[in-house]
Amino acid sequence: MKRRMLLGALLIAAVVISGCVKAQIRLFTDATVPFAEYTLEGTGDEKILLIPIKGRIADGPSRGFLRDRPGLVENVVAQLRKAEEDPQIKALIIKIDSPGGSVTAIDILYHELQAYRARTQVKIVALFMGLAASGGYYVALPADHIVAHPTSITGSVGVIFLTPRVDGLMTKIGVAVDVNKSGRNKDTGSPFRPRTAEEEALFQDLTDQLAGRFLDLVARHRQPTPAALEEIKTARIFLAPQALELGLVDKIGYASEALEAARQEAGLAADARVVVYRRNEYPDDTVYNSAAHGGAPKPAVVDIGLPAGILDNGTGFHYLWSPAATE
């Protein structure tokens, strides 16, 4: 007990002293700190930028312990804007470890990567880690070259529409909801009653349209054979060797192969610098650093993160592979 009291007193003293001497003591990472460039390897003037895309993709903020933090889309776009100001950036590697997310957030990232490539002529290489499925694959489509880790799971080229159903629970506990509406479709998708046949047809039509957009982009960027496209249309997942056979990826390899592909695509020397944008500096940083994935990391003192599940996905249309979504 005395030891804890002593540690607490020292912490308070440090905070008070910091106000006098203007020392910076951060218990929590400040998301307002701008991105800074850090070199992972290489000594040359020309650069390869690495941007991780990790976790579910959404355009909303990331929930923090004490405050919200910039979300994944905001962080990736901010890094692209910063990279556009640096003429020494000659290649970009997007390191993807994601099951996808909301259709709009994913389409925004796709659009921003396409636009960045068109404006700068910077070559893009996608590196798949453990998971680059559904929307995680969608955002890789602007890449000039795709490298998949030997154990990557990819594919799931399709759309899922998620909406909760609570009408059974409400009946069980004796609760009802009365609705006044201006048209017969105004409460379409309501969780308080079963869907009508008309609603089922409507949601399936919307799902098919969004899936069609996804498949059109795959056909345009990857140009699979008709037989391969039919297999891709099933929205099943594939391991890297199957994805290679179908033309979804260009090579099976590791980060070193992705870096070599970036050098070849951009015509860079072997000593080209590999750089990242971080809000914090990490000692002994490498391309495999998963603690710094563009946003402000979780508090260093307390991590109350919960595992992703169906409630995390929210109601709506998703380019997402999530087994929990259908359980």
4, HSE (Cβ side, Cα atoms, 13 Å): 1
> C-alpha angle 117/119/125, rounded to 5°?
15
What's the confidence (pLDDT) of residue 322? 67
CATH topology of domain 27-175+189-326: 2-enoyl-CoA Hydratase; Chain A, domain 1 (3.90.226)
What's the confidence (pLDDT) of residue 300? 34
Tell me the C-alpha distance between 195 and 122, whole Å.
Answer: 48
**Catalytic residue of the set 18, 181, 186, 256:** 186
What's the confidence (pLDDT) of residue 293? 53
What's the confidence (pLDDT) of residue 168? 74
What's the confidence (pLDDT) of residue 65? 54
Residues of the chain with confidence (pLDDT) below 70: 1-31, 60-68, 291-317, 322-327
- Residues 272, 47 contacting (CB under 8 angstroms): yes
What's the confidence (pLDDT) of residue 31? 64
Tell me the C-alpha distance between 151 and 237, whole Å.
Answer: 12
- Residues 212, 226 contacting (CB under 8 angstroms): no
Nearest to 294 by CA among 30, 33, 58, 76: 76
Instruction: Give the burial class of 266: count Cβ atoms within 10 A of its Cβ; 0-12 exposed, 13-18 middle, 19 or more buried.
Output: buried
Amino acid identity, residue 57? I
Tell me the C-alpha distance between 103 and 25, whole Å.
Answer: 40
Nearest to 89 by CA among 120, 110, 57, 63: 120
Tell me the C-alpha distance between 134 and 143, whole Å.
Answer: 16
Domain spans, the chain = 27-175+189-326
Segment 74-100, tens digit of pLDDT: 999 999 999 999 999 999 999 999 999
Stretch (H or E) spanning 160: strand 160-162
Segment 257-268, tens digit of pLDDT: 999 999 999 999
Q: What pTM was computed for the model?
A: 0.81
Residues 6 or more apart from 224 whose CB is under 8 A from it?
218, 232, 246, 247, 248
What's the confidence (pLDDT) of residue 17? 45
- Residues 136, 105 contacting (CB under 8 angstroms): no
Instruction: Give the burial class of 202: count Cβ atoms within 10 A of its Cβ; 0-12 exposed, 13-18 middle, 19 or more buried.
Output: middle
What's the confidence (pLDDT) of residue 71? 85
Amino acid identity, residue 2? K
Q: Does 47 qualify as catalytic in the annotation?
A: no
**Catalytic residue of the set 62, 98, 102, 134:** 134
What's the confidence (pLDDT) of residue 136? 96
- Residues 68, 116 contacting (CB under 8 angstroms): no
Q: Coil, helix or strand for 247?
A: coil
